[in-house]
Structure 1
């Protein structure tokens, strides 16, 4: 496992001067920067990652144990990118140095979707996700993380669009470095694979046949495996389109008609019914919330 040098670590360390962990509840629809500090060995059970999370270990060691029981160790100077849906237990170990520190940069789903829509995933081979989630902290990526962290912690605050642009640079650096599991590849189940695929292009007229072809499966196999996981192409597509619509209406201020078209709904009334069924209010009620 590649470990970055002390100079690169020192550049990031100033953003982890004190423990700044997220509180319980929903995350805002924007990138977030967190710092984890522990002076005693701590174990966090039943951890579930809700948003794409880039974690850089600055001191001590992080251990990840997934649902299969496999444990991976990440020493100081290493990093990992955990996708939404990762579940397992985490150990933060100060070791002989007496302190554990890590910097966490979280990306909302819509930002990842925009990256993949803009830059595509044609070059990303359809292979299984890695078991260790390791990311090499190369200088270019470290520079991008530092730039984003400085933007997220600026006082006075920088314009939100500028901060988002800096965070998008981090995702681009990851994609350029071959962190291909940002894209629609088979991760932890067929439903998750379908979800990743539809998330990149929610406006496409997806059918079970088209999804099956994209995943190199027969339509019958796709439907059978989705049924075993308690869902269908239609239900996943609806979930992803509704999530995308909420991002567009709440964060980007698109009109209801524009959001409907971006989510693949030619009929505005049908779009409105889907939103009401999912969130209990009309699409217009989500704008600017």
Structure 2
């Protein structure tokens, strides 16, 4: 299995193709990490669900628990949004470290979990480690997705997304529940995790507080300490959901508004314009 995996995925990691800084695109990304010298990266924070496959050398992960875990050639890990720690990429005896990284946007993960179970979006204990077993089904799905994301000419976005969803589903079917955030880092993060599972629900501060076993006053105070409010977080999550529905799913403006909890289409349009600078209709099919 390991040799087969390396043979099938190596062509996607022929050279270093790390993404640059700035905002990441609102779509899945495939990129490779190649190094000839041992590298230590401190204070790494994962912003999007990331499946990392070590094709050569080894990777050491050390998170807040202080425990270091090593992932050798032919192994894989799934790091959820919010993971923080240090990383060591070790070329070892081969003299080269290579890894292939497949990143999934939050909305794609949200769609999967809404369709097949939302347990992964609720706060749960961290897994014993971040290891993902490269089953035959998962290996096939990864190769299929990688080929689709690097196709020339490019695949239609919906078809490429479908292939990446197959990767997520293969992991979920194999018990990898930590596809979404697993441990809130504060009250705002906990509220965000709650709201993104049901952005269409008419949330109020009282409803959110009750769901988190807090009083409304305590919730407001804690959010204020983090410079957030329930209204702000709800708007951000609804706008993110709306962008995906309009850009990726091709829903009408009215359908997207209703799916995001806006009964008034004009109100929905104002929220979108304020957030992204364009009308909702301009986002369709981008």
Shift of 1:38: 0.9
CA distance change for structure 1 residues 95 and 156 in 2, over 3 Å: closer, same or farther?
A: same
CA distance change for structure 1 residues 103 and 237 in 2, over 3 Å: closer, same or farther?
A: same
Q: Residue 193 of structure 1 corresponds to which residue in structure 2?
A: 190
Shift of 1:230: 3.3
Say whether the 8 Å CA contact 1:183–1:197 is kept in structure 2: no
Q: Residue 38 of structure 2 corresponds to which residue in structure 1?
A: 41
CA distance in 2, matches of 1:67, 1:288: 41
CA distance in 2, matches of 1:70, 1:226: 31
Q: TM-score, normalised by structure 1?
A: 0.86
Among 72, 83, 91, which residue is 1:75 paired with? 72
Matches within 5 A, 1:92-171: 92-121=89-118, 126-130=123-127, 132-171=129-168
Q: Residue 274 of structure 2 corresponds to which residue in structure 1?
A: 277
Say whether the 8 Å CA contact 2:199–2:234 is kept in structure 1: yes
Q: Residue 207 of structure 1 corresponds to which residue in structure 2?
A: 204
Say whether the 8 Å CA contact 1:52–1:106 is kept in structure 2: yes
Among 278, 283, 286, which residue is 1:286 paired with? 283
Tell me how large the CA RMSD over aligned residues is.
2.6
Answer yes or no: is 1:23 the counterpart of 2:20.
yes
CA distance change for structure 1 residues 266 and 32 in 2, over 3 Å: closer, same or farther?
A: same
Secondary structure of the 2:85 match is strand
CA distance change for structure 1 residues 128 and 225 in 2, over 3 Å: closer, same or farther?
A: farther
Q: Which runs of 4+ in 1 moved over 6 A?
A: none
Shift of 1:70: 4.7
Out of 111-120 and 147-156, give the one that drifted further: 147-156
Shift of 1:229: 3.2
Shift of 1:65: 3.3
Q: Residue 219 of structure 1 corresponds to which residue in structure 2?
A: 215
Among 11, 16, 20, which residue is 1:14 paired with? 11
Deviations 1:92-144 (A, max 9, x none): 11012211111100112221121122222258875223364222222221121
Say whether the 8 Å CA contact 1:184–1:193 is kept in structure 2: no
Say whether the 8 Å CA contact 1:208–1:233 is kept in structure 2: yes
CA distance change for structure 1 residues 183 and 53 in 2, over 3 Å: closer, same or farther?
A: closer
Consecutive unaligned residues of structure 1, counting only runs of 5 or more, are none
Answer yes or no: is 1:239 the counterpart of 2:233.
no
Deviations 1:236-257 (A, max 9, x none): 1111111112222333333322
Q: TM-score, normalised by structure 2?
A: 0.87
Secondary structure of the 1:260 match is helix
CA distance in 2, matches of 1:231, 1:259: 25
